[in-house]
Structure 1
Amino acid sequence: MSLVGKLAFVTGGGQGIGRATCRILSREGASVVVGDKVPSTVEETLKTINKEQKGEHLGVELDVGKAQSINNALKKVVEKYSKPPTVIVNCAGITRDNFILKLSEEDFDEVLNINLKGTFLVMKTFTNAMVEHGLTNGSIVNISSIVGKYGNIGQSNYSASKAGVELLTKTASKEFGKMGIRVNTIFPGMIKTRMIETVPDKVKAQFKSMIPLGRFGEPEEIAEVIAFLASDKSSFITGASINVTGGF
């Protein structure tokens, strides 16, 4: 599953699934651009992938909720590599959990701004750049969540944002197909990330009992699927929604 010669851009690359994705993509030979809002986490990821797999990697500070920040990141990428990436992975996401009757308008808006609008802005900006540079054989992978299919108590904003990511992806796959750009969604289940650490142990135990494989997933298990979708091995897959949930 070689990604040699490919340039990949990963949002939320500073931790969790994003960091694991940077590691796996670089392992497969891609040059990786690590984008994250927290500069220190970008440096940590860069240090990790450079230690594991030497390559022409780059870190950029990125706020996916702001178009100007995305444009600035794209400019830095093109300055370094003389071309935009053809692999885009949207891992950036946040939670602001609360029951609907207690959820503030600000927390609702912030989650949709990052998780849904951010995915839209990154796709739009980088796809336009690919088209302008005459690049085809592109692959965009958007990270949703299994709660985007079934909902979850206390996560109305997060569930709605992740449900939106799926339909945004399906629409983009129809619009971008003629440009040679594939767009797919991954639905992670309960994965061992910093986001899960905030969940009470009692709730985690309940979730684990509902997973046929009897455990939570590792970030790398999502990243391996992302690498497959980024590669030519998945050349006829677009508009797909792939559950990686342990059977949840």
Structure 2
Amino acid sequence: MDFGLSNKAALITGGARGLGRAICLNLASEGSGIAINYRKDHERAWLLAEEIKEKYGVKAICVKGDVTSEEDVKRIFCEVLCQLGRIDILVNNSGICPVSMVKDMDLSEWNSVIGTNLTGTFLTSREMINMLIAQNKCGKIVNIASQSAFNGSKTGKSHYAASKGGIVSFTLSLAKEAARYGINVNAVAPGMMYTEMTAETLDKNMDKYKKEIPIGRIAELDEVARVVVFLASDVSSYITGATLDVSGGITGR
């Protein structure tokens, strides 16, 4: 199946590692140019860009910037437009997930999680929407939510769950606003994946988590990334405002 991604360009926030890295590789495999946004680890982002160029023969660049900063977000978009010439797809993947029970949580930690996960999604989406409207172009925004948006957390991640619940609601509202401009806005809600963020928890409780998943295993990153590719592609042209469940059956919504 042709996903119609050749000669398009995608900006992936937090794209240097984990799920973001898998999304970059899967979009590149379909012919899309890739802009890898990162905040700190330049070497990791640069190595991924080189891998993408060598393996798939598409353009790939690294763009440093903090999605919680309006100034940085504007600069990120300017750099990508300058180097790739266009941005057709935005994947809001940047996220942090420290662990703290509400009774012990500092306001600064709460603000940091909400700022990165939810406000960052707002800032980049706003920039993307205004850019596409000014260019009179269609486009795709894919936000990374989580099953915690629906199931909550009992392990000290209430701020993370709240931010992801906000992303689900924001996705629906923005989709309704942006539909008139030919811009599709959707989200993906993964279940358990093995990443740097989840490795410690999963290593301690792997059998427990597998038993809770109807499919009986943890998701491969590529399995989630391919759903992002679908939502970023022409194949999903009649889907907007949706949050797709990729949980192996945990939530099933």
**Same-fold status (TM-score > 0.5):** yes
**1:241 maps onto 2:209 in alignment:** no
Aligned mates of 1:247, 1:184 — CA distance in 2:
20
Task: Indicate the residue corresponding to 1:78 in structure 2.
Answer: 81
CA RMSD of aligned residues (A): 1.2
What does residue 4 of structure 2 align with? 2
Count of aligned pairs: 246
Distance of 2:190 and 2:104 partners within structure 1? 27
Aligned-partner Cα distance in 2 for 1:51–1:183: 31
Counterpart for residue 121 of structure 2: 119
Structure-1 separation of matches of 2:79 and 2:97: 29
- Give the share of equivalent positions with the same residue, in percent: 33
Question: Would you say 1:140 and 2:154 are equivalent positions?
Answer: no
Asked if 1:97 is matched to 2:105, the reply is no
Q: How does 1:76-225 map to 2 (within 5 A)?
A: 76-83=79-86, 85-136=87-138, 138-153=139-154, 154-199=156-201, 201-225=203-227
Does residue 54 (structure 1) correspond to residue 50 (structure 2)? The answer is no
Contact kept? 2:8, 2:32, Cα under 8 Å: yes
What is the DSSP-based 3-state SS (H/G/I as helix, E as strand, rest coil) of the residue aligned with 1:243?
A: strand
> Unaligned 5+ residue runs, structure 2?
none
Unaligned runs of 5+ in 1: none
Counterpart AA for 2:95? G
Report the Cα offset of residue 11 of structure 1: 0.5
User: Secondary structure, in 3 states, of the residue corresponding to 1:198?
Assistant: helix
Give SS of 1:9's match.
strand
TM-score if structure 2 supplies the norm length?
Answer: 0.94
> What displacement does 1:200 show?
5.8
Change (3 A) 1:95 1:135: same
Instruction: Give CA deviations for 1:189-234 in whole Å, capped at 9, x if unaligned.
Output: 0011111113164444322210011111111111100111111110
Q: Deviations over 1:39-82 (max 9, x none)?
A: 12211221221221111221100211111111111111121233
